[in-house]
């Protein structure tokens, strides 16, 4: 990966933007695509759209969500300790002892989620995971009044974790879900724009909001753009670790290529066409399944306007929804190239409709 692409990816991941507070990461994404887009639009809730060859056909939507999981301040007690609730799906077993940032008026406030020292714990019997309302953040305040001078009820919170090389092309950090997807969509758009003279299709790249809260931005974008087909990029579970059961969750490995899934929302003709392009260009990909739903923005998009042919593509990700998610940069580059080649292969009359 070239240095400017890696700089963009790192900035995107390290910029805190939990669900309902996506504007900082969204601005980075918009600024990156401006030189390549025919136009940029945002909607009422902050979804961002970049258009390429808007008069083209078919109209293809590339989508990934920009938001991340996090927390939100709910209560400050009389001693200045901050209680919070979740934004998106987090694991309470990971929370104790973590550093966090409370985002207050553009000024991040450092805090730590309190943890009772092991010496003081009663460890008889099975240890139950803490309930979220039992956890608190220590910001060093001495009173409620002092704490409320620095934070407010409603402030969003993220883990204080950056994006760092682990080894080789493996990198670790918070919010890979789904900033790596937003990066891939931006890169696929950029690569396609650089060879637009051969492009028949209209391409709309979307960076959606509030996926972690319920696929909300995707529903808005699917309705407003009404594409002929949609490709959704999100992370998928890498199971190449000792504690993952492949018999239950399948075999997905970092560095072996992106995931193309079958079933549920994944339109069979679109999946077939993607696989055809991958094989023609010797692009490695892994097979996944979505027997009931994909768990991605695809679930909201495919339902819009009487049905939009949609496929969900995954980037293998270890330790999802943790402060230490791990991805392989090669998988990101492979998927961006694959999407760009697919877009370039489309014919003006091409549609993905089931017919009998």
Q: What is the pLDDT of residues 167-176, one digit of tens each?
A: 999 999 999 9
CA 222 from centroid of its chain's CA atoms: 17
Q: Of 129, 159, 189, which marks where a domain is finished?
A: 159
Name the residue among 55, 155, 144, 35 with its Cα closest to residue 100: 155
Name the residue among 188, 229, 192, 191 with its Cα closest to residue 207: 188
Does residue 168 belong to any structural domain of this protein? no
Residues 281 and 140 in one domain: no
Residues 102 and 227 in one domain: no
Does residue 355 belong to any structural domain of this protein? no
| CB 66, CB 208: distance < 8 Å | yes
Q: Give strand pairing partners of 82.
A: 76, 137
pLDDT tens per residue across span 203-239: 999 999 999 999 999 999 999 999 999 999 999 999 9
Per-residue pLDDT of the chain (356 residues; tens, 9 = 90+): 899 999 999 999 999 999 999 999 999 999 999 999 999 999 999 999 999 999 999 999 999 999 999 999 999 999 999 999 999 999 999 999 999 999 999 889 999 999 888 887 877 777 788 999 999 999 999 999 999 999 999 999 999 999 999 999 999 999 999 999 999 999 999 999 999 998 999 999 999 999 999 999 999 999 999 999 999 999 999 999 999 999 999 999 999 999 999 999 999 999 999 999 999 999 999 999 999 999 999 999 999 999 999 999 999 999 999 999 999 999 999 999 999 999 999 999 999 998 87
Range of the domain at 336: 3-68+174-345
Residues 292 and 206 in one domain: yes
Q: Give the pLDDT score at 355.
A: 81
Does residue 166 belong to any structural domain of this protein? no
Q: Of 159, 182, 201, which marks where a domain is finished?
A: 159
Structure tokens at 318: 């270890």
Does residue 330 belong to any structural domain of this protein? yes
Reported for 104-112, long-range contacts at CB under 8 A and 24+ positions apart, including other chains, are 104/150, 104/151, 104/152, 104/155, 108/16, 109/139, 109/150, 109/151, 110/139, 110/160, 111/82, 111/137, 111/138, 111/139, 111/157, 112/137, 112/138
Name the residue among 215, 183, 186 with its Cα closest to residue 203: 186
| CB 222, CB 301: distance < 8 Å | yes
Tally the domains of the chain: 2
Write out the catalytic residue numbers: 211
Name the residue among 118, 108, 161, 116 with its Cα closest to residue 139: 108
Apex CA 179: angle with CA 175 and CA 183, to 5°?
155
Residues 276 and 341 in one domain: yes
Q: Give the pLDDT score at 127.
A: 77
Residues 87 and 178 in one domain: no
Residues 120 and 144 in one domain: yes
Does residue 167 belong to any structural domain of this protein? no
Residues 130 and 8 in one domain: no
β 70-76/156-159 pair status: antiparallel
Name the residue among 131, 31, 28, 133 with its Cα closest to residue 73: 133
């Amino acid at each position: 990966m070239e240095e400017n692409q890696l700089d963009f990816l790192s900035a995107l991941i390290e910029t805190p933007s939990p669900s309902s507070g996506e504007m900082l990461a969204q601005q980075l994404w918009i600024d990156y695509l401006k030189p390549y887009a025919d136009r940029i639009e945002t909607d009422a809730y902050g979804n961002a759209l970049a258009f390429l060859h808007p008069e083209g056909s078919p109209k293809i939507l590339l989508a990934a969500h920009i938001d991340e999981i996090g927390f939100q301040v709910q209560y400050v007690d009389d001693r200045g300790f901050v209680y919070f609730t979740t934004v998106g799906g987090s694991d309470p077993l990971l929370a104790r002892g973590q550093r966090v940032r409370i985002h207050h008026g553009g000024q991040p406030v450092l805090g730590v989620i309190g943890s009772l020292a092991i010496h003081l714990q009663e460890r008889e019997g099975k240890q139950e995971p803490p309930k979220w309302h039992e956890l608190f953040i220590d910001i060093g305040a001495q009173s409620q009044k002092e704490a409320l001078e620095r934070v407010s009820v409603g402030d969003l919170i993220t883990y204080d974790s950056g994006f760092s090389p682990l080894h080789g092309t493996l990198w670790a950090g918070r919010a890979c879900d789904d900033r790596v997807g937003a990066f891939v969509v931006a890169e696929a758009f950029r690569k396609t724009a650089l060879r637009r003279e051969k492009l028949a299709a209209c391409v709309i790249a979307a960076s959606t909001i509030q996926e972690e809260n319920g696929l909300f931005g995707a529903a808005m974008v699917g309705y407003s753009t009404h594409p002929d087909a949609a490709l959704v990029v999100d992370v998928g579970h890498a199971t190449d670790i000792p504690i993952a059961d492949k018999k239950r969750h399948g075999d997905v490995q970092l560095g072996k290529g992106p995931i193309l899934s079958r079933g549920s929302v994944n339109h069979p003709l679109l999946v077939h066409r993607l696989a055809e392009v991958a094989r023609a260009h010797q692009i490695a990909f892994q097979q996944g399944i979505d027997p009931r739903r994909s768990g991605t923005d695809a679930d909201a998009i495919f339902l819009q306007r009487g049905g939009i042919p949609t496929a969900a593509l995954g980037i293998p990700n270890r330790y999802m929804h943790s402060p230490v998610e791990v991805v392989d940069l090669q998988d990101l580059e492979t998927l961006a190239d694959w999407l760009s080649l697919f877009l370039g292969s489309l014919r003006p009359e091409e549609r993905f409709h089931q017919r009998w």
